[in-house]
Amino acid sequence: MIRAPIAAALVALTLAAVPAVRAVAAEQVPYSASAFAAAQAAGKPVVVDVTAPWCSTCAAQKPIVQALLKEPEFKNLVLLHVDFDTQKALLRKLNVREQSTFVVYKGRDEVGRSTGDTDKASIAALFAKAAG
């Protein structure tokens, strides 16, 4: 049964020849005024993501956002998480009235926002307003 060791060796050689792909992903942190200011000062695109643990729309958005953040075009994006239930003063400051809201900034300027969107293409287009 010399075939099994030869097959294993061929698989190992094939995998060794494939270059490693380095994963790129955007930065994700809880919202703080200092994180927001630092991202803006660095000229990074910023998405403020307002969520709630009980929100079914937020749950539907999460895998879409996670997939988008792995795409090279969004590698410099900073995603700041805001808790809808506990950060009420910030929600008033941002003029956000509902969970499942994205507020997108390019530099210091708000360039878009959406609430309740679960379409990958339109979320990508929104994020691209900041990243582009």
Per-residue pLDDT at 2: 52
Q: Which has the higher per-residue pLDDT, 13 or 82?
A: 82
In the predicted model, what is the mean pLDDT of residues 30-43?
94
- DSSP letter (8 states) at residue 85: T
CATH class of 24-131: alpha beta
Tell me the percentage of the chain whose pLDDT exceeds 90. 77
Dihedral (C-alpha) 61, 66, 72, 74: value to the nearest 10 degrees? 60
> Average per-residue pLDDT in the chain?
86
**What is the domain partition of the chain in residue ranges?**
24-131
In the predicted model, what is the mean pLDDT of residues 48-66?
97
Two structure tokens written together for 129? 């307003």
Interhelix angle 120-131/56-69, rounded to 10 degrees, is: 50
Q: Is the pTM of this model over 0.85?
A: no
